[in-house]
Structure 1
Amino acid sequence: MTASSSSPHPLRFGNFRAYLAGRLAAVLAQYSMMIVLGWQAYNIARETMTTAGASAQLGLIGLAQFVPLFFLTPVTGWVADHYDRRFITRITLTMLTAASGLLAFATFEGWVSLPLVFAVAVVVGIARAFNGPAYGALAPNLVPATVLPNAIAISSVFWQTGMIAGPALGGYAYAAAPWGAYAMASGLFGIALVAMLFIGRVPQPPRDTTRHPLRQMIDGFTYVKGNRLVLATITLDLFAVLLAGATALLPVYARDILHVGSRGLGHLAAAPGIGAGATALWFSFRPMKTQVGIKMLGAVILFGLATIAFGCTAFLPRSVAVEFGIASLVVLGSADMVSVFVRQSLVQLHTPDAMRGRVSSLSQLTISASNELGEAESGFLAALVGPVAAVIGGGIGAILITIFWARLFPELRLAHSFDPPDIGRAHPSQEKPL
């Protein structure tokens, strides 16, 4: 999956370096804000509600972010394929900077409330709906096709590292000063915006003006449905993470099960980042090349086992429960990195450039469904059967769905490498390496 020795490294391209810097900052900000939104909503709710009622608020926070994305997905993918992807990301990053800044000010002044938190969650969902497909489809246009596999691998590592490490940053920042967590997120979104301003004009597929936009929007669904390997990787992550949503219930575990508070929440949220970071470092030296489908299936099973292990911390003595929980989350983060790395690489490399916006929007929808909708499922399930049963049951469900998917999609089991068919993967970048 590496380029030939005569090809320049992706990091030699200034546009790609700016993209990576902005991507990492934006993902760190996004996922740190998500954990803080849940923690703050849970704590506000606990002032007047029981643990079950407050857990349901975590579910509503997830729904507030997922519903806008669900309804906007067909439009956002089409927009990313027909308009300047740099401009789309700049507008959405401005929205996210302002939204997180508003919550920082409201928290500092002491008038933050559940309605405000939910309103900001909706704004975040709308911004992410447009931001994700544009970001995802932009990366392959920043480097020549000969180094595209390396570029996708590096971009996936940055994205996943930010997604896993972001909650840790949010937890630690909230422990230091609740308003500071949102201020940090606002600053990171601002850095991402500045980085996007440094990206010059890049090639983009020509607009299709011969058919109605609605027909073109449907094309994205048709392509994913027809490419069983892409469909398998996207849907496996959707259902596995949707069921095994342990991280969504970290606020409940931190406050009411392990009794470690906001600082302990930071430790718990940091654990997946450690696992993901170590795995990303390993990939940077030993990139995955063979048996990629089997390795993804094994990683998702390990993800489910680690989720079960974390859920069982409720039955352990407090002296070892936190350490065992952190170790379980480290393994969870490492397994998640393997799974997402394989999925992102296969999806990007097996999708024509003219379709990347629409396919990226569908991929984002499944990611958001597994994360935000998973938060809703975990929160509501925890309200019904308790957080411990929700986490352990989710881990078991993830393992069962992986076994079923391995039989339903033999294409995934038989995917030996990332090599795509000849689909005209990307327009080569006009930028020359430095």
Structure 2
Amino acid sequence: MQDAWTPRPAGPVSEPDQPRHDPLAALRQPNYALFAGGRLSSAIAMTLLNAAIAWQVYEISGSAFQLGMLGLARFFPSLGMSLVGGAVADSHDRKKIVLLAQFVPLACSATLYFATTRDLTELPLFYGLVLMLALAAAFENPARQALVPQVVSREAFPNAIVVNSTIQSLGFVTGPALGGLLIGFSGVDTAYLAHMTLMAASIAAVALLRPRAVEGARRAVSFDAIKEGVSFVRHRQVLLGAMTLDMFAVIFGGAQALLPIYAKDILEVGPKGYGVLSASLEAGALVMAVALVVLPPVRRAGRALLVTVALFGIGTIVFGLSRNFYLSVAVYMFIGMADQVSVVLRQTTVQLSTPDELRGRVSSVNMLFIGASNQLGAVESGLVAAVTSATFAVVTGGMGCLAVVGMVWAKLPELRRYEVRAVAIASGEKPAAEVPAAGGS
């Protein structure tokens, strides 16, 4: 099957002379710049909305358990529909899928604004809307990932992958900070208004996109089509190992769901401090994302992945024990930097290793791992904190993260030895999914 630009099958590849690295190669192309602008707007909007919902739920309930249940409400739609969403992305117009899916969060924030201004907020409303948001994301995310090669040239595609990660980090920094400031100065209803404005801008940007057509027949949505995407990942052990490592590390090591408790009860910094604390993780990720755009690719990717996940776990332990707001912000930034390396390595491997006819389905498998880690991590943190304390939940989670790294280091030497080799993307050559380094560990 032929796509907008299909790489030739993998084979022995000599290391070519590399062209001069241009960190802005993708953004110089107007179609991709429009795509990136829409992605930035939607990333700010969604993280702002998530922060506002978490704050309002904790204000209403005062319960760590209820915060954890938000994660559960997000997880079940991801578990049930992400793979279907990937198959839909490979069989239908990806631009239209993204466009239609983005109207759902717009409607949800309008509902929350109406309910908040009329004092009609009840916990079931939040859980129902979070469920709808997760369902929409299950279709939007694979389609958006699969749309990238249709709006950027082959030569700039590797750069677009890293730029995407940088844009996402920028949005994720701005959203929680903006949410915290709006809640603190104007009230949570203003945060919902800001979300509606940002989503409208994102919808406009997507509507103006002119993606290249994907050539060849599309495969209809079916169980076999879904299975094909899962099989692609399952038979590439380095790719599967990287996803699994990230998933379990975040399940044990994530502290995001407990940030309202840390801001309000432990550090006692209120909604403004909550906004800064929420944004500090993504601020660290943004710093690292920019560095990864500018610097040459990490070659010893497997070892770098394991080391950065270990640093993520250590940082989580320190954050859990901290009682100083400034130290907590600094440590949370450090955690974000470590996490960003993992994100970029995983996304680069997924995108460069996947043919276009499978791109939506493979992206959905990756999204399933990400969704499982984020939402199950929120549930785990909330439940453990409810039974013990927030500090115990975060510190033991960091220890669990280190245990996962140790197990993967011992059990998956292929991942430990994995290296990313230079590939002539511009000439159409496709990298092998796994390239272990020669020799021992």
What is the aligned partner in structure 2 of residue 18 from structure 1?
Answer: 34
Q: More helix per residue: 1 or 2?
A: 1
Does structure 1 residue 345 correspond to structure 2 residue 348? yes
Partner of 1:380: 383
> What residue is the counterpart of 1:429 in the other structure?
none
Question: Are positions 1:33 and 2:36 aligned together?
Answer: no
Q: Which structure 1 segments of 5+ residues have no match?
A: 47-53, 427-434
Secondary structure of the corresponding residue to residue 12 of structure 1: coil
Measure, in 1, the Cα distance between the counterparts of 2:430 and 2:276: 41
Question: Structure 1 residue aligned with 2:334, among 315, 331, 335?
Answer: 331
The match for 2:358 is 355
String of CA shifts for 1:12-32, please: whole Å, max 9, x gaps. 222111111111111221122
Aligned counterparts of 2:154 and 2:217: Cα–Cα separation in 1: 20
Evaluate the alpha carbon distance shift between residue 6 and residue 413 of structure 1 in structure 2; reply closer, same or farther with a 3 A threshold: closer
Q: How does 1:91-240 map to 2 (within 5 A)?
A: 91-176=100-185, 177-204=187-214, 206-209=216-219, 213-240=222-249
Task: State the 1:6 CA deviation.
Answer: 10
Structure 1: distance between partners of 2:166 and 2:184? 27
Q: After superposition, what is the alpha-carbon deviation per residue over 1:144-168, rounded to whole angstroms, capped at 9, x for unaligned?
A: 2222111111112212332344322
Look up the SS of the partner of 2:110 in the other structure: helix
Q: Distance in 2 between matches of 1:242 and 1:97?
A: 29
Structure 1 residue 38 displacement after superposition: 1.4
Residue correspondences, number: 412
Cα distance in 1 for partners of 2:48, 2:421 equals 31
Q: 1:62 maps to which residue? A: 71
Whichever residue aligns with residue 365 of structure 1, its letter is: L
Q: How far is 1:397 from its partner?
A: 0.9
Is the Cα contact below 8 Å between 1:32 and 1:170 reproduced in 2? yes
- Deviation of the 1:311 alpha carbon: 0.3
Counterpart residue identity of residue 283, structure 1 = L
Residue 62 of structure 1 aligns with an amino acid whose one-letter code is G
* Cα contact 1:205–1:353 (8 A) shared by 2: no
Q: Could you give the per-residue CA deviations for residues 355-404 of structure 1, whole angstroms, max 9, x where no partner exists?
A: 11011111111111111221111111111121111000111111111222
Query: One-letter code of the match for 1:4?
Result: P
Tell me by how many angstroms 1:421 deviates.
10
Deviation of 1:409 (Å):
2.6
TM-score by length of 1: 0.89
Instruction: Show CA shifts across 1:90-123 (max 9, x none).
Output: 0011111111122122212222221111111011
Tell me, in whole angstroms, the C-alpha distance in 1 between the residues paired with 2:276 and 2:221.
Answer: 51
Distance 1:425 1:203, change over 3 A: farther
Which stretch shows the higher mean deviation, 33-42 or 218-227?
A: 33-42
> In the alignment, which residue of structure 1 is the partner of 2:280?
271
- Assess, with a 3 A threshold, how the Cα gap between structure 1 residues 20 and 109 changes in structure 2: closer, same or farther: same
| Aligned-pair identity (%) | 35
1:63 shift after superposition? 0.9
| 1:300 aligns with one of 280, 300, 309 | 309
Deviates more, 1:255-264 or 1:389-398: 255-264
Whole-Å separation in 2 of the counterparts to 1:161 and 1:410: 34
Matched residues in 1 for 2:51 and 2:284: separation? 18
RMSD between aligned alpha carbons?
2.3
Give unpaired runs (5+ residues) of structure 2: 1-15, 432-441
Do the aligned residues in 2 keep the contact of 1:2 with 1:147 (CA within 8 Å)?
Answer: no
2:13 is equivalent to residue 4 of structure 1: no
Does the Cα contact within 8 Å between 2:169 and 2:283 map onto a contact in 1? no
Once the two structures are superposed, the pairs formed by residues 66-85 of structure 1 within 5 Å of their partners are: 66-85=75-94
Task: Report the more deviating stretch, 411-420 or 36-45.
Answer: 411-420
- 8 Å contact 2:83–2:368 — kept in the other structure? no
C-alpha change, 1:262 and 1:408, in structure 2 (3 Å) is same
The more displaced of 6-15 and 368-377 is 6-15
CA 1:424–1:196 in structure 2 vs 1: closer, same or farther (change >3 Å)? farther
Alpha-carbon shift at residue 2 of structure 1 (Å): 11
Partner of 1:398: 401
Distance in 1 (CA, whole Å) between partners of 2:180 and 2:189 is: 12
